[in-house]
Amino acid sequence: MRVLLAEDDAQTAEAVIASLTGAGYVVDHETGGEQAWFRGDTEAYAAVILDLGLPGMDGLSILRKWRQAGQTFPVLILTARGNWNERVEGIDAGADDYLPKPFQMQELQARLRAILRRSAGRATPVITIGPLSLDTRQMRVSMNDVPVHLSPQEYRLVNYLVLHAGRVVSQPELIEQLYARDFELDSNAIEVLIARVRRKLGADLIKTRRGFGYVIEMPAP
């Protein structure tokens, strides 16, 4: 999934990018407030990690402008340790969670997974849809309680479709969320990826909606 990191501290940003990239996220990075606001306002992100102390435009102003413009992506704010009033202001402005500095990368990943789940209406880290079980903590997939080995790219596809189960996801959206911008793709890359996953998880799990995209359907109640 594509994440925007708005952080002007080079050392922190480098560590976060390495951690999230290793966990399978596609990360865009901005160091200035105006640039971060523009990216979030004009591009599609699954989530944003937002430092409040950005130059040019502070994080709270950015967050308020996003929410006023109707942007609903989840936002994890980074704040200085002990600055409780900033954390309160951030939550009131529309942040979904906060993380005080300094922090451990494992906690950052856990909080990011949690706000992504909540934004998709999922309360628990293990999501079950029919025979499919997705463990977002361990990044593991099972069918009928039998673990299935997926490549990192195959897992990212399943994870995104599961978090958006019941909604048809277009090919351009999948490309946007699964691949870095400078990654050279074949024209049929998504079809090939879908075919590989279907061979491992069954042909009926991911449905094709001709001319629209792909969907993992929610089972009937």
Structure confidence at residue 20 (pLDDT): 95
Distances 177 to 82, 174, 191 between C-alpha atoms, Å: 34, 5, 15
Segment 6-31, tens digit of pLDDT:
999 999 999 999 999 998 899 999 99
Structure confidence at residue 81 (pLDDT): 59
* Structural element, H or E, at residue 142: strand 140-143
CATH code (residue 18): 3.40.50.2300
Shared domain for 18 and 110, answered yes or no, is yes
Which of 163, 131, 145, 148 lies closest to 196 in space, CA to CA?
Answer: 148
How far apart are alpha carbons 117 and 29 in whole angstroms? 22
Shared domain for 111 and 133, answered yes or no, is no
Structure confidence at residue 121 (pLDDT): 81
Structure confidence at residue 125 (pLDDT): 85
Structural domain that includes position 16: 2-119
The token pair that represents 45 in the structure block: 């992100």
Cβ partners under 8 Å of residue 170, min gap 6: 212, 213
Shared domain for 47 and 74, answered yes or no, is yes
In sequence order, the β-bridge partners of residue 3 are 27, 47
Residue 88 falls inside a structural domain: yes
- Residue 121 burial (C-beta neighbours within 10 Å; 0-12, 13-18, 19+): exposed
Residues (pLDDT < 50) of the chain are none
Shared domain for 21 and 95, answered yes or no, is yes
The token pair that represents 6 in the structure block: 């708005």
Residue 221 falls inside a structural domain: no
Shared domain for 24 and 111, answered yes or no, is yes
Q: How many CB atoms are located within 10 Å of the residue 56 CB?
A: 14
CATH code (residue 198): 1.10.10.10
The number of domains in the chain is 2
Structure confidence at residue 82 (pLDDT): 59
Q: Among 81, 104, 119, where does a domain finish?
A: 119
Q: Among 119, 148, 171, where does a domain finish?
A: 119
How far apart are alpha carbons 176 and 180 in whole angstroms? 8
Distances 112 to 29, 60, 63 between C-alpha atoms, Å: 16, 19, 17
